[in-house]
């Protein structure tokens, strides 16, 4: 018979304790321990996946054959790019995102375009009829994708054994539970045990598995942190539900770079890949409007131009408001302090609102120059020329620091018809200006940039 015991588990890192503690000794978070009932199984229990494997023995590094395995083409250029060139056989990939952001839509749309593969879609949240209605809305492509609605891990492995699929989709990991643990689905011990069993199955059978996961209110993957350590890749699907753009970002990838980025546009018939995001993110009719500056940003390895909007007005209340959408509010406060101290613009009694157009969240420090240019443009009520683009990081002493991959940024601006490009003076070294049709304006300090923009 199985023995039952009660343990307390940290909901942040998965650390176990026989009694409740206020502060987790492992991760240092307060009030994260929750009580769970765990049933200890006998040591001779068969593995959950039902797959018996031979005992492994140590071998030397020379004896291991490391052939380049062909990756599975997902028929989606953006998804292939973020995965590092396609899906690796035997890998476990976790896709997380807010409710209703389009995780299930992305995965279902992808498998509908893979009729050459035998795919098993396990749904723990939606009925088969709901999936059929969504599939009809997304695509007319006929697919032999197998659908099963199941939440028991043991039954899932039975279905996998009977169908022998090339790819397994589990939507979502928080709804799956195993009989060996007596706690509710979605609890820390259930998520940890189920994901470990699925990983064992993926590695032993060489079958890739896509997991869909929820996120918590802080925006990170829900469940214990060990879930992110177990999987091979963690993809974050993010965006604002009120905007049409979605970004697929790689947080962890054992088979590729985490600097990759995929951009999608949400439509009535599903997600459309955005191959050239600059043309969609730029608003062409801002001529003569103050508070708008165009920045050349790089997210991942791809450059694109974004519109930075700012509004500066006199503070109505005693304390001036500071608000930023899509940009770090602390960095904006730092840039305002630089303008106040180094350049002499009095913004202490002004409300400052900043917005990155299109609902994007940008972390590239190279858009600092566009941010302060938009803020100053709104403060002076003088427009920036619409054919001017810029890139540069602002230092605390008011200097404009060099940025990486400047040739790609310039090339993107030139391709979209911009005439002038403001860049840090140091970045001008090594650039062959004879081949460029765009005028490069090197600037060393913030004052020089403002003179070049406003005269």
User: Which residues define the annotated binding site for ATP?
Assistant: 97-104
H-state helical runs in 75-168 = 77-83, 103-112, 128-138, 153-163
Nearest by Cα to 191 from 72, 96, 279? 96
Positive or negative: CA dihedral 198, 199, 200, 206: positive
Which residue numbers belong to the known binding site? 97-104
Neighbours of 331 (CB within 10 A): 17
Distance of alpha carbon 442 from alpha carbon 423, whole angstroms = 5
Strand partners, 166: none
Closest C-alpha among 286, 295, 236 to residue 261: 236
Phi, psi dihedrals of residue 224, rounded to the nearest 5°:
-70, 155
Cα(94)–Cα(213) distance, integer angstroms:
7
DSSP assigned state of 258 = T
Contact 93, 170 (CB under 8 A): no
- d(CA 390, CA 421) in angstroms, rounded, equals 5
- Cα–Cα separations (whole angstroms), residue 261 to 152, 251, 294: 34, 10, 21
- How far apart CA 266 and CA 44 sit, in angstroms, is 50
Closest CA to 124 of 177, 166, 197: 177
CA distance 291 to 280: 20
Q: Which helix (H) or strand (E) holds 380?
A: helix 368-380
């Amino acid at each position: 018979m199985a023995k039952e015991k009660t343990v307390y588990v940290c909901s942040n890192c998965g650390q176990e304790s026989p009694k409740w503690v206020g502060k987790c000794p492992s991760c240092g978070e307060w009030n994260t321990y929750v009580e769970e009932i765990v049933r200890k199984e006998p040591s001779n229990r068969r593995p959950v996946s039902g797959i018996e494997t031979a005992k492994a023995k140590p071998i030397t590094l020379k004896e291991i054959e490391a052939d380049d395995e062909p990756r599975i083409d997902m028929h989606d250029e953006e998804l292939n790019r973020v995965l590092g060139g396609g899906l690796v056989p035997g890998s476990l990939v976790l896709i997380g995102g807010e409710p209703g952001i389009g995780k299930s839509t992305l995965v279902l749309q992808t498998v509908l375009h893979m009729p050459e593969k035998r795919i098993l879609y396990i749904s723990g949240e939606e009925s088969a009829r709901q999936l059929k209605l969504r599939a009809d809305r997304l695509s007319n492509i006929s697919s032999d994708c197998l659908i099963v609605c199941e939440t028991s891990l043991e039954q899932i492995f039975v279905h996998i054994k009977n169908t022998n699929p090339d790819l397994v989709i589990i939507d979502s990991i928080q709804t799956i539970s195993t009989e060996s643990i007596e706690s509710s689905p979605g609890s820390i011990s259930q998520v940890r045990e189920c994901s470990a069993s699925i990983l064992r199955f993926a590695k032993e059978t060489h079958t890739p598995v896509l997991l869909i996961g929820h996120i918590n209110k802080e925006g990170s993957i829900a469940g214990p942190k060990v879930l992110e350590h177990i999987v091979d890749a963690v993809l974050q699907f993010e965006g604002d539900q009120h905007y049409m753009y979605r970004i697929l970002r790689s947080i962890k990838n054992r088979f590729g770079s985490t600097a990759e980025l995929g951009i999608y546009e949400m439509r009535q018939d599903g997600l459309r890949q955005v191959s050239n995001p600059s043309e969609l993110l730029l608003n062409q009719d801002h001529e003569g409007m103050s508070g708008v500056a165009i920045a050349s940003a790089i997210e991942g390895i791809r450059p694109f131009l974004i519109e930075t909007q700012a509004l500066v007005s006199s503070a109505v209340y005693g304390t001036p408001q500071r608000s930023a959408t899509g940009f770090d509010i602390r960095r904006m406060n730092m840039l305002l302090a630089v303008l106040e101290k180094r350049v002499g613009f009095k913004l202490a009694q002004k409300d400052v609102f900043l917005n990155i157009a299109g609902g994007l969240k940008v972390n590239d420090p190279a858009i600092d120059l566009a941010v302060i240019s938009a803020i100053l443009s709104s403060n002076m009520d003088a427009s920036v020329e619409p054919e001017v683009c810029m890139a540069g990081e602002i230092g605390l002493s008011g200097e404009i620091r060099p940025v990486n991959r400047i040739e790609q940024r310039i090339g993107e601006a030139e391709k979209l018809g911009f005439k002038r490009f403001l860049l840090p003076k140091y970045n001008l070294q090594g650039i062959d200006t004879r081949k460029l049709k765009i005028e490069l304006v090197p600037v060393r300090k913030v004052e020089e940039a403002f003179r070049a923009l406003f005269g």
